[in-house]
Copies of this chain bind each other. A is one copy, B any other.
Amino acid sequence: MTRAFNFGAGPAMIPTPVMEAIRDEFLDYQGTGCSIIEISHRSDTFIEVIDKAEALFREISGVSNDYKVLFVHGGASLQFSAIPLNLLGLKPARKAQYVRTGVFAKKAEKEAHRYGHIDCLANGEPLDFKTLPEIDESRISEDASYVYMTSNNTIYGTQWKHFPNTGNIPLIIDSTSEILSRRLDYSKFGLIFGGLQKNLGPSGMAVVCIRKDLLGYADAGTPPLLNYETYSQEKSLINTTNTFAIYVVMKVLEWLKAKGGLDAMEKINDAKAKLLYDIIDRSSFYLGVVKNPQHRSTMNVTFNLAKPELEEKFNRLAIEKNLVALEGHRSVGGFRASIYNAMPMEGVQALGQFMQDFEKKEI
């Protein structure tokens, strides 16, 4: 069996050593005679898993004890509803300001409109989301319950390197497609969350870090499984949780810690991204989607071919070289190399070599 270099945007590649370890104990977890997916979420065995997953997340991210770390149902998208339901009530104006930088930022903004007064603080749509918009900090409103941003935009390949100073207005960050890929100062955020399926594990859940003083403001009609205070009280076990996902997260975080944690991982991720962007920038055959180097994602490298008629051939030959899932998002086309934590440098080098070889032959 050959494992592919899988550049899919998510559900994405999980480190091969992690996958092998999961496979090897899949029918019998630690001599119990049962799989980790066949035991109670309230068993000592599973409690050890979820506690370890949380402890590793705290250790690796550096998030302080002023924050709760929660494992929540429904992936990032369910948080698009949960965030306004939990946080709009922070202030009587029920107002929030959203930064529109892509499809998922727009979805979150649209969903929030159903619950309060939503203001678009900055809009990248006129630039087709290929450039990050300027944020005018003077427009941040004192009566806003929160400011909302998406730190990495998977579809377009943009990423915020710096965040605005929102003062005492809580800054909410969707970091789904870059969570634990670089060192971030969590103390700047009121809430930071991410779906698991890109850097942390399989799909279906999200991790939410919320500053404790923001708990307790949920609207009366908030379902318990969307209420962060309820998750906090029940230590993420309100009901039967997705035990498999949390178990995989624990394994992935063990791997990430052994790799040297965020400082080491950020260096690797920067080098991986640089390798591809350098090839794109040196070439007129490949056209980078995001022109401004300060706006470029280290997680999703997006590009087109100057000769679009070669796209099918590029993709077919890439697959022959075991470089898979390079197609761009269905809404934009072109190509996208998602190079999350689990993608080894070796895979990026193989892609870089392929791109250069293909260019030489076809130019």
On A, residues with C-beta under 8 Å from B are 1-4, 6, 8-14, 16, 19-20, 22-23, 26-28, 32-35, 37-43, 73-78, 81-82, 85, 111, 114-115, 195, 197, 202-205, 220-221, 223-226, 238-245, 248, 322, 324-325, 330
Contacts and interface: CB of A to CB of B under 8 A. Distances in A.
B78 A37 contact: no
Given A1-B28, A23-B27, A114 B11 contact: no
Nearest to A22: B26
A82 B195 CA distance: 22
A239 B77 contact: yes
Contacts of A197: 240
A139 B14 CA distance: 55
Contacts of A12: 38
A94 to B, nearest CB: 13
Contact of A325 (B37, B39, B244, B322): B39
Contact of A8 (B6, B26, B40): B40
A114 to B, nearest CB: 6
15 contacts: A1-B27, A4-B33, A11-B37, A11-B243, A19-B35, A39-B325, A74-B74, A74-B225, A78-B239, A81-B223, A114-B220, A195-B240, A203-B242, A204-B240, A204-B245
Contacts of A39: 6, 8, 11, 325
Nearest to A202: B37
Contact of A324 (B8, B32, B78, B81): B32
Contacts of A205: 204, 242
Contact of A23 (B23, B115, B243): B23
Nearest to A115: B221
Number of copies: 2
Contact of A9 (B16, B40, B224, B239): B40
Nearest to A330: B42
A38 B23 contact: no
| Chain A residues touching B, majority SS | loop
Contacts of A10: 40, 240
A361 to B, nearest CB: 24
Contacts of A28: 1-3
Contact of A204 (B42, B242, B324): B242
B3 A27 contact: yes
A223 B111 contact: yes
Nearest to A196: B240
A22 B16 CA distance: 16
A75 B239 contact: yes
A8 B38 contact: yes
Given A111-B223, A241-B204, A244-B203, A27 B19 contact: yes
Contacts of A76: 239-240
A347 to B, nearest CB: 11
A77 B234 CA distance: 14
Given A6-B38, A81-B223, A111-B223, 9 more contacts: A3-B33, A8-B38, A23-B23, A23-B26, A77-B225, A78-B223, A81-B226, A111-B224, A223-B226
Nearest to A198: B240
